[in-house]
Amino acid sequence: MVYKSEKSLIRENLSGFKKFTLGAFVTLSAAIIGLSPAVLTAGDNGPCIECHTKPDKLKTAEKAKINPVTGEIKVVSMVIDEVTFKASAHGGEDFFCIDCHQDLDGVDLTDGHKPNLKPVDCITFCHDDPADEYLQSSHVKLMKEKNKDVPTCKDCHAGVTYHYTSLGEKSPRDVPRGTDPLHRKLTIDSCGECHQEYLDSYRNNAHGQVTALGHTDTDVPVCFDCHGKHKILNSADPESKVGKERILETCGSCHANANASFVKHVEHPQIKNLNYYKKLLAAVKNARSNPADLKTLLKNPQTILCVVFVMYIGILAFTFSAFGLHSLLSWFAVARDELKRKGHADEEQH
């Protein structure tokens, strides 16, 4: 906690510092910028925008970025779409390019700046809170304990680099917000890249079928609405947003008066998951040697859902084959009679 308060102190000081520098530059702006237009200073994005909106003014308009963990290489455009940047979370009046790209502070631009900047540090001075939460999540626990590759900031927030838009990157928006429908839609796919089975079962539920049709506003939940954004915990953890202690509150945030029975609803039905049926069959087979297995499965609400689903597939198959055949046969029988009748009518006419 102490660590946290120190950090926020630094942040406050920083913003104070920012205001001071801004004030200084307001009074001296004309002189300084006029005398040395080739030196980058805080308080002015002009020199950056001048080149970074025009690919032909840049020595390198595209750059390869290598992911240090996966070794994946991405081509990133160095061109900024000014309008998109200004509309982004970092595009307000208070933000300047070198707030993030700090190693460019005071750089002489006469020959252009060196091409390789240090990676932007989002956490130290600004985003320490979400980082703190993220470090407590089940993802990080998995990384620490089982040495697994887990998503880190930029895997989900790839959009942060989107002010280098238009070429190469996958999201057409800049820095994503939790309320932005497009961002919400993209997060479903991001989570689904690893949690495919959960994405599939989500699609079979009431919430997932609506988002599948393209409606991803805040009135229909996507993954992070129920599971949390940074501090995502395993559902077995009582402190998880879908855990025992908080599920009422989580469901209740949309469903007023959600009750203890209501929150037992299965959000990820296994009705189309072959593995669940295999498990069921195996448990039935071993019912004598290991009755406990079958008992737990029978107590699992998924089992009834699967039985109902299979029953309906049976009803559908039977109804359409039996009555389909019946209506085909009766259709052809009527056609046959009609032809005969017409034949007779023709004979009578002749």
Partner 1 sequence: MSLKERGMQMKSSINYVRFSLFHRFCHFLIIISFFGLVLTGMPLAFRSYGWARWLYELFGGYPTAGFIHRICALITFFAAFIHFLFLFICVSVQKRKGFFWGPGSLLIQPRDIFDIVGDIKWFLGIGKRPDFDQWIYWEKFEYLSLMWGTLVMAVTGLILWFPVQFTKIIPVSVASVVDLPGIALIIHRYEAILAAGFIFTIHFFHTHLLPEKMPVDEAIFTGKITEAEFRHERLNQFKRLESQRQLENYKVAPPSLFVSFLTRLFAVPILITGLLMVGFMFSALLVWAI
Q: Which residues bind partner 1 (CB under 8 A)?
A: 203, 205-206, 209-210, 212-215, 217, 219-220, 255-262, 264-266, 269, 271, 299-301, 304-305, 308-309, 312-313, 315-316, 319-320, 323-324, 326-338
Block residue for tokens 């989570």: 191
Residue type, 82: E
In this complex, which beta carbon is closest to partner 1, that of residue 20 or of residue 262?
262
Output the CA angle 190-194-199, nearest 5 degrees: 70
**Rounded Cα–Cα distance for residues 343 and 345 (Å):** 5
In whole angstroms, the minimum distance from the beta carbon of 325 to partner 1 comes to: 9
Question: In terms of CB distance, is 59 or 344 closer to partner 1?
Answer: 344
* Rg value, the chain, Cα: 31
Using the minimum distance from each CB to partner 1, give the nearer residue, 83 or 328.
328
List of residues 6+ apart from 212 with CB closer than 8 A:
203
Nearest by Cα to 191 from 203, 205, 180? 203
The Cα diameter of the chain in Å comes to: 111
Choice between 166 and 196, CB closer to partner 1? 196
Q: What is the DSSP string of 256-293?
A: TT--TTGGG--SS--TT-HHHHHHHHHHHHTTTT-HHH
Task: Classify residue 74 by its DSSP letter.
Answer: E
To the nearest whole angstrom, how small is the minimum distance from the Cβ of residue 79 to partner 1?
33
Nearer to partner 1, 25 or 198 (CB): 198
Residue 316: φ, ψ to 5°: -60, -45
Between 20 and 312, CB nearer to partner 1: 312
Nearer to partner 1, 170 or 215 (CB): 215
CB of 63 to partner 1, least distance (A): 37
Minimum CB–partner distance for residue 142 and partner 1 (Å): 28
Whole-number minimum distance, CB 208 to partner 1, in Å?
Answer: 8
Least CB distance from residue 203 to partner 1, whole Å?
A: 7
> Which of left, alpha, beta for 270 (phi over 0: left; psi -120 to 50: alpha)?
alpha
Distance of CA 35 to the CA centre of its chain: 47
Which residue, 120 or 266, has its beta carbon nearer to partner 1? 266
Min CB(138)–partner 1 separation in Å: 23
Query: How far is the CA of 322 from the CAs of 313, 316, 326, 348, in angstroms?
Result: 14, 10, 6, 39
Other C-beta atoms lying within 10 Å of the C-beta of residue 303: 18
Which residue do the tokens 């407590």 mark? 136
Shortest Cβ 224–partner 1 spacing (Å): 19
| Beta strand residue intervals within 12-66, DSSP E | 62-66
